[in-house]
Amino acid sequence: MRATELAEAVRSGERSATEVLDEYLERIEKRNAELNAFVHLDEDRARARAAAIDETVAAGQDPGPLAGVPVALKDNMCRAGEPTTCGSRILGDWRPPFDATVTSRLSAAGAVIVGKTNMDEFAMGSSTENSAYGPTRNPHDISRVPGGSSGGSAASVAADLVPLALGSDTGGSIRQPAAFCGVVGVKPTYGAVSRYGLVAFASSLDQIGPLAANVADSALCLDVIAGHDPLDSTSVPDHFVPVSPAVDAGVEGMRIGFVSQLGSGSDGVGGIDPEIDAAAKRAATALEEAGATVGEASIPASVYGLSAYYLIAPAEASSNLARYDGVRYGARVDAKTTAEMMVATRTAGFGDEVKRRIMLGTYALSAGYYDAYYDKAQRVRTLMAREFASAYESFDVLISPTAPTAAFKLGERTADPMTMYVNDVCTIPANLTGDPAMSVPFGNNSAGLPIGVQVIAPALGEFDMFRVAGAIEEALR
């Protein structure tokens, strides 16, 4: 059942939150051992919460727009008193003493948080194979990855273990797993959703957003979590325009550009599966039939996105992850001196991918290489933002494939980091510019695996983005 319908049924007293929760917990019980989507369940708290919502309804009050809707959090978002591992060993059994802003906003809206989902360690990965708690599997084919790093959230929604989940997206970590699992995944404008209580990976790129089974549910969730938060200094102060009314608004008269470099053409980023390119172009045609005009948009700097990202994100990560030193929280490996203790703790606590990125970032920031790598990558970022700004003069919204391929097999890309990194080639540009972007399912490939189409809009252009996403979804009906 859709989250929007569930909330309505609970608000009207037609269904109880407790009964809804039981139904979902039963499904989790049945399927989680196989999928490994959840790393932690908060059953007792969820039951207490559902009972409290039922009491609110019985007392004639409104529990809020997400009344009784079970929601999962990616395990890099804090909920007071519950484990928050980030898919890493280094946080040990650390339990945050505070709620992330998204956690408190979901709760205030009546949602029932059921637990935490699996992820690549510190959100570094595109397959959820870098988790210290084992890989998550794709519900469409358990020999394949769900994508990453929000693979647990995407798989849990795809298998209907929860109707809604939150993910975080630094280079595509919401959108790519959404595409792989056949669900909707939204990366809002940078700063549109508070990052307070989200464990930092790359602070100038990270953004929280919803994963849902359909566009309307993702809109409902985004409307709840978006908005200014004084606890996050990068929070956008502007009023967030609710996107739920956009879903059915249609695309009559809109100008939509297909980003040519993110297709399978020869001037592009390369490696885009022609079947996926064709699906994205079919989506463009469907939008044209729905009343939009469609043209070709050009973002030549897209081809440098991957390189820029894999310098900037590791650089910021190397700084952010310096805090895991065994002093204030998380695991500690004892040693004779503090310096030795820090080395022992970090060496035992971090997995290989995290170590690679910390070293890459440390190197890119070091004297003698800063100008050649980090500074250059930041200039590419500006170049890309300029090209997007120029594309937005001709187009309201841009579209492209979400990921270059459909879901691949477990273990297929773990040996060579570059083969994993190219997964993010279509999603990275929107992180570098800060623009909102989302993935909408658009059919399956010849092997029966889901394909996602990406919609990108100018900063704070979520309303138009959801108009297009709604129309793409509608075209498949």
Cite the active site residues: 74, 149, 173
> For residue 204, is the peptide bond before it cis, meaning its omega torsion is within 30 degrees of 0?
no
| Part of the chain binding another protein (CB under 8 A), chosen from 7-15, 91-99, 213-221, 291-299 | 91-99
* Residue 300 in tokens: 């030549």
395 is an interface residue for another protein by CB under 8 A = no
| Part of the chain binding another protein (CB under 8 A), chosen from 4-12, 38-46, 124-132, 358-366 | 358-366
Give the one residue of 367, 393, 418, 446 binding another protein; rule: CB under 8 A: 418
Give the one residue of 163, 330, 404, 450 binding another protein; rule: CB under 8 A: 330
**Nearest CB to another protein, comparing residues 51 and 383:** 383
204 is an interface residue for another protein by CB under 8 A = yes
Long-range contacts of 199-202 (CB under 8 A, 24+ apart): 199/76, 199/77, 199/78, 199/84, 199/86, 199/122, 200/320, 201/76, 201/122, 201/123, 201/124, 201/168, 201/170, 201/313, 201/316, 201/317, 201/320, 202/170, 202/312, 202/313, 202/314, 202/316, 202/317, 202/320
Min separation Cβ 456 and another protein, Å: 13
41 is an interface residue for another protein by CB under 8 A = no
Tell me the backbone φ, ψ of residue 119, rounded to 5 degrees. -160, 160
**Nearest CB to another protein, comparing residues 238 and 252:** 238
| CB of 331 closer than 8 Å to CB of 91 | yes
Residues from 247 through 286 that contact another protein (CB under 8 A): none
Distance CA 445, CA 421 (A): 22
Give the one residue of 311, 407, 449, 471 binding another protein; rule: CB under 8 A: 311
Min separation Cβ 344 and another protein, Å: 7
**Nearest CB to another protein, comparing residues 34 and 340:** 340
Residue with tokens 């007392």: 59
Min separation Cβ 416 and another protein, Å: 7
Helix boundaries (H) for 145-273: 151-158, 175-181, 215-225
Measured at the CA of 258, the angle between CA 252 and CA 260, to 5 degrees, comes to: 165
**Nearest CB to another protein, comparing residues 249 and 335:** 335
356 is an interface residue for another protein by CB under 8 A = yes
Closest CA to 176 of 445, 458, 422, 464: 422
Min separation Cβ 420 and another protein, Å: 11
233 is an interface residue for another protein by CB under 8 A = yes
Give the one residue of 240, 373, 392, 463 binding another protein; rule: CB under 8 A: 373
- What SS3 class is residue 202? coil
| Part of the chain binding another protein (CB under 8 A), chosen from 251-259, 263-271, 377-385, 467-475 | 377-385
Min separation Cβ 476 and another protein, Å: 32
Closest CA to 147 of 417, 425, 424: 424
Q: Are strands 450-456 and 397-401 parallel, antiparallel or unpaired?
A: antiparallel
332 is an interface residue for another protein by CB under 8 A = yes
**Nearest CB to another protein, comparing residues 248 and 340:** 340
Give the one residue of 41, 142, 278, 385 binding another protein; rule: CB under 8 A: 385
Residues from 173 through 192 that contact another protein (CB under 8 A): 190-191
Give the one residue of 375, 390, 411, 476 binding another protein; rule: CB under 8 A: 375
**Nearest CB to another protein, comparing residues 307 and 445:** 307
Give the one residue of 27, 343, 445, 475 binding another protein; rule: CB under 8 A: 343
313 is an interface residue for another protein by CB under 8 A = no
* 308: Cβ contacts below 8 Å, ≥ 6 apart: 376, 377, 378, 380, 381, 384, 428, 432
* Residue 301 in tokens: 């700097």
Residue with tokens 């990194």: 421
**Nearest CB to another protein, comparing residues 143 and 366:** 366
Q: Between 447 and 466, how does the x/- string for binding to another protein read (CB under 8 A)?
A: ------------x-------
Min separation Cβ 257 and another protein, Å: 20
- Residues in a beta bridge with 296: 258
Tell me the backbone φ, ψ of residue 340, rounded to 5 degrees. -70, -35
Min separation Cβ 400 and another protein, Å: 19
**Nearest CB to another protein, comparing residues 74 and 332:** 332
Distance CA 93, CA 96 (A): 10
89 is an interface residue for another protein by CB under 8 A = no
| CB of 404 closer than 8 Å to CB of 271 | yes
Distance CA 237, CA 226 (A): 11
- What SS3 class is residue 304? helix
477 is an interface residue for another protein by CB under 8 A = no
* Residue 449 in tokens: 């695996």
421 is an interface residue for another protein by CB under 8 A = yes
370 is an interface residue for another protein by CB under 8 A = no
**Nearest CB to another protein, comparing residues 167 and 434:** 434
Give the one residue of 346, 410, 467, 472 binding another protein; rule: CB under 8 A: 346
Give the one residue of 282, 363, 444, 474 binding another protein; rule: CB under 8 A: 363
